[in-house]
Structures are given as C-alpha cells and as structure tokens.
Amino acid sequence: MSEEERKAETTAPQAPSAASAANRAAGAGESGAKAEAKPAAAKAQAAKAAPPDPRVEAAKAVAEQIKQVLVREFGEAAVEETGVAHRTPMVRVRKQDWPKAVEFLRTHPDWKLNYAECMAGTDYPDYIEIVLYVQSTELGHFVCLKTRTDRDPAEVPSLVASHPGLNWEEREIYDLLGVRFTGHPDLRRIMMWEGFKGHPLRKDYREWD
C-alpha cells in the first residue's frame, strides 16, 4: 500500500454501524491499522454520516504536528502513519528510526515527552506492534508512539538508552512475544524461566506442542 492510500485511510475514521455517541467516539479511535480489510469507500461514506468528535480531531492535529517535526528531522520515510488511538495522538515510526525518534521527542523543546508510561507489544497476524505511551510532565502532551516489526524475525531497536525504565518492559515483551530488542543491555526472559520454549502471548502459541 502506498503512503497516500494509508494516510487517506487513517484520516477517514471508520464509523461503526451503531449510531450511539459512545460508539462513535470509540470507533473514531480506530488506528486504521486493522481497518484495512474493509473497502475504503464504504468507510468514507460512513464517516460523512457521523459528525467527528472534536477531541479526536484535536488529537489528529497533534499527531500531524509530531509527524512534521519527525519528518523534518528524519525524512519523509520515518513516519509511516499518523492517527489516533482513542483520543490519543498516534504516530507510527519506522523501525530503524524508533529509538532515535523517541529520544528526539524526549529532548525536543516543543514536546519533551520524557515520561514513558506504558509499553506494550501486540501480536497481529502479519506483524508485531510495539506501543509506547509517553507523557510530557512539563508540557502535558500525551502521545502514543508505535512501531512495527515482522513476526519472524521480530527485531526492534531498544529504547533503554533513553528510557532506562523500559528495561523490564522490553524484557517482558521479549519473553512473552519474542521480540528481540537489539542494543538491550540484558535481554533475558523475565517472567518465564530460562529454557522455556516459545512465547506465550503470541497468538499461535500452543502449550502442548
């Protein structure tokens, strides 16, 4: 999929069939990543029917701003996608630029995203996604940063250099999802024992194989 198509999809949020206000807000939080299956045209039509949530619109604007900052620094290819993760601005960064981009945003005077709140990995059918929710304690920004890696081999550069607090989170993701964090100082299993086979949080994990 080209860059333009992807952008078009994410900027046109999918509206759910149920017209309740609750679902509207939530549906707008669609990252677009999982919406690929449905035809884009149907979605665009649905989006017209439902007035957009102002909070979602604001988040989207913020995500665009971050994209511009990152693009200026790392080039057009660094940012793969922008959007919202349920009212939180979401920016998906290319894997190679992941630690640099996070460190850049941590020290950037306009963003200062210095406080990593939550890091998670999710196993999707075609890729593994690493999510990082970062907060600026000074400026109040709260942003969702993402990156993607292939499932096999799953490899992402480590963030420990800029956020030492993510050390164990990355170990946990390595342990349970099998993502190798290159440059991690101490990448070992943390929850399971050494010698354990497999990565339990992967969707294709079977206990008795």
Partner 1 sequence: MAQTEETLERLGVPADKLEHHRLRLDDDPDVRTEEMLLNVGPQHPSTHGVFRLLVKIRGETILDAEPVIGYLHRGTEKLAEDLQYTQIIPYTDRLDYLAAMLNNYALCHTVEEALGLEIPERAEYLRVIVMELQRIASHLLFIGTYLLDLGAMSPFLYVFQERERIVQMFNKICGARLTYNYMRIGGVKWDAPPGWLDEVRAFVPFMKERIKMYDDLITGNEIFLNRTRGIGQYDTETALKYGLSGINLRCTGFAWDLRRKKPYSIYDRFEFDIPVGTRGDCFDRYYLHLLEMQQSLRIVEQALDQIPDSGPVLGKVPKLIRVPKGEYYSGIEGARGELGFYIVSDGKDKPYRLKIRKPSFVNLQLLPELLRGQNIANLIAILGAVDIVLGEVDA
Q: Which residues bind partner 1 (CB under 8 A)?
A: 14, 16, 20-27, 29-31, 34-35, 85-86, 88, 114-118, 120-123, 131, 133, 137, 142, 144, 163-169, 176, 185-186, 189-193, 200-201
Query: Which lies closer to partner 1 via its Cβ, residue 85 or residue 154?
Result: 85
**In the bound complex, what is the minimum distance in angstroms from residue 30's beta carbon to partner 1?**
5
Query: Which lies closer to partner 1 via its Cβ, residue 80 or residue 169?
Result: 169
- By CB atoms closer than 10 A (0-12, 13-18, 19+), residue 115 is middle
Q: How far apart are CA 178 and CA 128, in angstroms?
A: 10
Q: How far apart are CA 46 and CA 88, in angstroms?
A: 22
Query: Which lies closer to partner 1 via its Cβ, residue 2 or residue 17?
Result: 17
- How are beta strands 142-150 and 127-135 bridged, if at all? antiparallel
The first and second tokens of residue 8, run together, are: 């078009």
Which DSSP symbol is given to 165? G
Contact 166, 190 (CB under 8 A): no
**In the bound complex, what is the minimum distance in angstroms from residue 14's beta carbon to partner 1?**
8
Residue identified by tokens 């292939």 is: 150
Query: Which lies closer to partner 1 via its Cβ, residue 88 or residue 149?
Result: 88
Query: Which lies closer to partner 1 via its Cβ, residue 96 or residue 114?
Result: 114
